[in-house]
Amino acid sequence: MQAIKNYIASNKARFLGELIDFLRIPSVSTAQKFSEDVRKAAKFVKQKLLIAGVDKVMLIDTEGHPLVYGEKIIDKNLPTVLVYGHYDVQPADPYELWDTPPFEPAIRDGKIYARGASDDKGQVYIHIKAFETMLATKQLPCNVKFLIEGEEEKGSESITLFLKNKENHARIKADTVLVSDTSLLSLAQPSLDVGLRGIVYLEVEVTGANKDLHSGTYGGAVANPLNVLCKMIASLKDENNRITIPGFYDKVVALSEEERAELNKIPFDLATYKKELGIEDIEGEKGYTTIERTGTRPSLDVNGMWGGYVEEGVKTILPAKAHAKISMRLAPHQEAKEIKKLFISYFTSIAPKSVKVNVKAYAGEGNPFLVNATSVSFQAASKAFEEVWGKRPIPVRCGGTIPIIVTFKEMLGFDIAMMGFGLESDVVHSPNENFSVHNFFKGIETVIAFYEHFVRLHK
């Protein structure tokens, strides 16, 4: 381990400099205008894998953004770890809320500020540098494959098709999928994710008249799509903040009292939570704690909404159209395809005859996921954290979604190890996203420790 620590220590500035170069690339996968930059980020990963020492590396072209595949096979009899991550990032707007520009990485108080710093470029780079370190110090204990995609933030459509194609199964065959795309509870208390919520993302359009109408001439006599959409969205939840879509909760499994008690042992201070968010009160499904709500219960959120006159000043119209992007996070056992159908059918059914409603589902729906905590992968991840962080990680349920994880598990039967190195203060998806430099380097050590324990336990 000393050789590893020495190698990391003597290459610190270079590792960080490379990550900063990676973060400079605005690889926003969801917006067409950044498509060249997304490809640039893929090439960056390919290049860095090559320099780190993979035997084989390639861009695999898809209908969307390319996959980066790399491998180092040292002995076919040894187990194989498949590292999954993504080089694409969320949109960075609203730009004006960033203290420094999202694609001009800046280091302040031990944190790198940039879009994608934590989600997921910083964490992907942990794996590339862990691999380089093991290889350089001759301590790589098994085979490694990398499959890094560029569409995670828009639904992982291409990698899903790739995984579903059996012709690709031999190439990516592995014993475990190692993913770093989540967070730790805190620097003082490491944690391991044992659950992910699923997701369904839709866009709805409500159309009233065939043009914008003067609100004096028509107001009160013709349906206003914005008013109608507000009413429809409002009716998706009841007074207890339960989602009203018929059948929505049918497959949600209630936690036992023991499970709830265990879950609520996770350190959580409501006063601090509210203070950090700047809110006076929390809001969620009646009868559940915050930890239960985000980890084990489904949710429904409007992610964006627009219609009518949104510029400076006044315009007195009934707009012809109103739009909203609506997503649902799914609790374990709910099925994304089914929930999507239930939503579309219900949402269409509650539309008054005075408007037309169109619902479009985005690709990349994801089922929820529960980790098998008795697996070798989970045990190895737990040991690695214990060794490097000096404390046994607490199992936690993450409210987020990594749709492809479920595909790896269901299609290929791979075990999964989710080792997140982010922190809640990283504000992923928000302005001023950041990643702790401390966690970046500690992450490299932890990943290396995982390989050791995994190979040992796998025997």
The tally of CA atoms less than 13 A away on the side-chain side of residue 145 is: 19
Residue 210 interacts with its own copies (CB under 8 A): yes or no: yes
Specify the residue for token string 């065939």: 210
Rounded to a whole number of angstroms, the minimum distance from the CB of residue 105 to its own copies is 19
Residues in 367-386 at the binding interface with its own copies, rule: CB under 8 A: none
DSSP summary character for residue 9 = H
Residue 209 interacts with its own copies (CB under 8 A): yes or no: yes
Instruction: Give the SS3 label for residue 20.
Output: helix
Residues in 155-174 at the binding interface with its own copies, rule: CB under 8 A: 155
Residues 142/79, Cβ–Cβ less than 8 Å: yes
Residue 399 interacts with its own copies (CB under 8 A): yes or no: yes
Residues in 246-265 at the binding interface with its own copies, rule: CB under 8 A: none
Contact mark string toward its own copies, 173..202, x via CB under 8 A: ----------x-------------x-x-x-
Number of residues that bind its own copies (CB under 8 A): 102
Residues in 91-130 at the binding interface with its own copies, rule: CB under 8 A: 91, 93-94, 97
Rounded to a whole number of angstroms, the minimum distance from the CB of residue 315 to its own copies is 5
Residue 266 interacts with its own copies (CB under 8 A): yes or no: no
Residues in 44-63 at the binding interface with its own copies, rule: CB under 8 A: none
Residue 154 interacts with its own copies (CB under 8 A): yes or no: yes
The tally of CA atoms less than 13 A away on the side-chain side of residue 254 is: 4
Residues in 326-345 at the binding interface with its own copies, rule: CB under 8 A: 327, 329
How many other CB atoms are found less than 10 A from the CB of residue 405? 24
In angstroms, the CA 232 to CA 236 distance is 7
Residue 294 interacts with its own copies (CB under 8 A): yes or no: yes
Kindly state the helix (H) or strand (E) to which residue 129 belongs, with its residue range: helix 122-136
Residue 234 interacts with its own copies (CB under 8 A): yes or no: yes
Among 297, 383, 409, 453, binds its own copies (CB under 8 A): 297
Rounded to a whole number of angstroms, the minimum distance from the CB of residue 60 to its own copies is 22
Instruction: Give the SS3 label for residue 455.
Output: helix
| Residue 174 φ then ψ, to 5° | -155, 170
The residue among 107 and 320 lying less far from its own copies, judged by its C-beta, is 320
Rounded to a whole number of angstroms, the minimum distance from the CB of residue 23 to its own copies is 18
Residues 326/301, Cβ–Cβ less than 8 Å: yes
Among 7, 35, 58, 284, binds its own copies (CB under 8 A): 284
Among 11, 189, 290, 348, binds its own copies (CB under 8 A): 290
Token pair for residue 344? Answer: 């579309």
Candidates 13-21, 333-341, 354-362, 380-388; binding stretch for its own copies (CB under 8 A): 354-362
Among 229, 380, 388, 418, binds its own copies (CB under 8 A): 229
Strand locations in 153-249 (E): 176-179, 191-196, 198-207, 213-214
Instruction: Give the SS3 label for residue 394.
Output: strand
Cα–Cα separations (whole angstroms), residue 454 to 40, 123, 202: 33, 19, 39
Residue 242 interacts with its own copies (CB under 8 A): yes or no: no
| Residue 319 φ then ψ, to 5° | -65, 155
Kindly state the helix (H) or strand (E) to which residue 134 belongs, with its residue range: helix 122-136
Instruction: Give the SS3 label for residue 351.
Output: coil
Candidates 51-59, 280-288, 373-381, 404-412; binding stretch for its own copies (CB under 8 A): 280-288
Rounded to a whole number of angstroms, the minimum distance from the CB of residue 443 to its own copies is 19
Residues in 420-439 at the binding interface with its own copies, rule: CB under 8 A: 424, 427-432
Cα angle 32, 421, 268 (rounded to 5 degrees) comes to 110
- Tell me the β-bridge partners of 395: 192
